[in-house]
Amino acid sequence: MKSIFLIPKLHRRGLGALFLLLILLQFCLHFYSPTPNIPVTDEKELALLETAYEKKLAAKKYKKFEVKPFNPNFISDYKAYQLKIPTAVFDRLQAYRKKGLYVNSAADFQKVTGVSNELLKKLSPLFVFPAWTKKKTQTAFRPTYHAKRAVDLNSATEAQLVEIPGIGVRRAQQILDQRKKLGGFCTVNQLKLLYGVDDLMFQQLKLYLKISVKPNVNKLNINRASVKELSAFPYFNYALAREIVKIRSRKGTLIIEDLANVEGITQEKLTILVLYLEF
């Protein structure tokens, strides 16, 4: 055999290149294995698995909001958003709660917030109130002392009012302030229009209060009063006074039926307004 040194230089280079290629081929075969062909049946199963997984992810992502019973007194703004409660309704509830007051029934909730009947119908089955509020509902209308002790709403002092179940110092002062502004109460039903007095409380209060003699009040002329004078009237506010004046400007002279069409004046409120207004 001829010595490698006797092989021409060009041939030696060719042999060297071939040797390197053989080494690279061995290296590739060692570290690389081709992907096996997946049978058709396996491909179908894989596709089904992928589809099921995607559906599971989608169901988890778009899972319907689960509504659980709750106490509306402690509802958060996020839960109100989930329940599609209007911002104005939520804000009125929060303003009421900031005064340290609570709603104890669906009727209270609607009175405080002004929520629509349609939305209340959906929400009320979810409301949960403490057990003591139910007990209060069952016993609230039972007089704790003899009915003969009922006092005249127009002559009662603060001390007499405080003795009545359900009336504290603040509530007594509220009643006296309203009586002074109005010139006297014409009916016990006017207590319903006091801020914070719900139906449950009114049913209890009316057991111990009466109107012996109707007061001779100075009636406000609805067709002559200015916005400022109307705003000073206890049952109106500035916005309501402006609306009344606008309607008066268009019509010329207002009649009682015109007030029935003003937003914010309910039929119950209207029956009380006629006692203090003249047309």
Same domain as 146, residue 132: no
Same domain, 114 and 153: no
Q: Please indicate, yes or no, whether residues 146 and 198 belong to a single structural domain of this protein.
A: yes
Q: Is residue 164 part of a domain?
A: yes
The answer as to whether 56 is a domain residue is no
Do 193 and 226 lie in a common domain?
A: no
Is the CB of residue 230 less than 8 Å from the CB of residue 254? no
pLDDT in the model for residue 21: 74
Does residue 127 form part of some domain? Answer: yes
Q: What is the mean pLDDT of residues 168-195?
A: 93
**Within this chain, do residues 225 and 200 fall inside the same structural domain, yes or no?**
no
Q: Is residue 44 part of a domain?
A: no
**Is residue 33, in this structure, part of any structural domain at all?**
no
Show the domain range for 243.
220-278
My answer on whether 186 and 126 are in the same domain is no
Residue 97 belongs to some domain of the structure: yes
pLDDT of residue 199: 83
Give the residue from 84, 119, 138 where a domain finishes.
Answer: 138
Residues 118 and 76 in one domain: yes
The answer on 144 and 132 residing in a single domain is no
State the DSSP H helix or E strand holding residue 210, giving kind and residue range, or none if neither.
strand 209-210
CA distance 139 to 36: 81
| Rounded Cα distance, 208 and 206, in Å | 5
The pLDDT tens digits for 205-262 are: 889 999 998 899 999 999 999 999 999 999 999 999 999 999 999 988 888 888 888 8
User: What CA–CA distance (Å, rounded) separates 279 from 255?
Assistant: 6
User: What is the per-residue pLDDT for 103?
Assistant: 87
Residues 146 and 105 in one domain: no
Q: What is the pLDDT of residue 198?
A: 85
Write the pLDDT tens digit of every residue in 40-72: 455 666 677 777 766 666 555 545 556 788 899
The reply to whether 148 and 132 lie within a common domain is no
Q: How many Cβ atoms are within 10 Å of 87's Cβ, its own excluded?
A: 10
Q: Residue-wise over 158-197: b if at least 16 C-beta within 10 A, else e?
A: eebbeebebbeeebbebbeebbeebebbbebebbbbbeeb
219: left (phi over 0), alpha (psi -120 to 50) or beta: beta
- pLDDT confidence of 3, banded at 50, 70, 90? low
**Block residue for tokens 């179940």:** 165
Scanning 62-105, the segments in alpha helix (DSSP H) are: 77-82, 87-98
Exposed e or buried b per residue across 31-40, where buried means at least 16 C-beta atoms within 10 angstroms of its C-beta: eeeeeeeeee
**pLDDT range class, residue 117, cuts 50, 70, 90:** confident
198 lies in the same domain as 238:
no
CB 154 within 8 A of CB 188: no
Pick the last residue of a domain from 210, 239, 268.
210
Q: What is the pLDDT of residues 59-105, one digit of tens each?
A: 555 455 567 888 999 888 888 888 889 988 998 899 888 887 888 88
What mean pLDDT is predicted for residues 12-23? Answer: 71
Instruction: Establish if 183 belongs to a structural domain.
Output: yes
pLDDT at 179 over 70: yes
What is the tally of helices (H) and strands (E) in the chain?
A: 14, 4
**Residue 89, number of CB atoms within 10 A of its CB:** 20
Q: Domains in the chain: how many in total? A: 3
Do 244 and 274 fall within a single domain?
yes
The pTM assigned to this predicted structure is 0.48
* Cβ atoms within 10 Å of 142's Cβ, excluding its own: 9
Average pLDDT rounded to a whole number, residues 107-124:
88
Which of 210, 241, 261 delimits the end of a domain?
A: 210
| CATH number of the domain within which 152 lies | 1.10.150.320
Using one digit for the tens of pLDDT, what is the confidence trace for 120-174?
A: 998 989 898 876 555 554 444 444 444 457 899 999 999 999 888 888 889 999 9
| Domain annotation covers residue 55 | no
